[in-house]
Amino acid sequence: MRNTTMTTEALLPPEFADLEPFAADWVLPTLEERLQRRLVTPMVELHAFYDAVFPRAEAAMTYLDQFDVNDVPETARNLMVLLYSLSVVSVATEVFSSQRDPNAGTTWINEVSEPAT
């Protein structure tokens, strides 16, 4: 499921322009939205996201380390949220081989708080 809304401004820092094609779909403000996106995204697209972002994760974390947690520019904050999405997608690609946990049945967890961004 691709977001077809076109944006003229980059969501990510220029150093991570190669990940920009994923930003519109995966820079989502809440865990609930990230989980929902994972559930409706075909596995082939989840693998494409994972294969693009995972190799850049260490560089992204190094980049983010330069900022004070209370003073993160918007593009850097978006990069951080993209890494949050990577953690959600990695479970589907590395563990489940499915968008859903095959052992969870119809259970669902609602998070009541989010990491500070």
- Interval 21-46: pLDDT, tens: 999 999 999 999 999 999 899 999 99
Percent of the chain with pLDDT over 70: 74
Please state, in angstroms and rounded to a whole number, the distance separating the CA atoms of residues 28 and 31. 8
pLDDT digits (tens, 9 = 90+) for 37-86: 998 999 999 999 999 999 999 999 999 999 998 999 999 999 999 999 99
Q: What is the mean pLDDT of residues 5-24?
A: 88
- SS3 helix, strand, coil % of the chain, rounded to 5? 60, 0, 40
Structure confidence at residue 17 as a pLDDT band (50, 70, 90): very high
- In terms of Cβ atoms closer than 10 Å to its own Cβ (0-12, 13-18, 19+), residue 95 is exposed
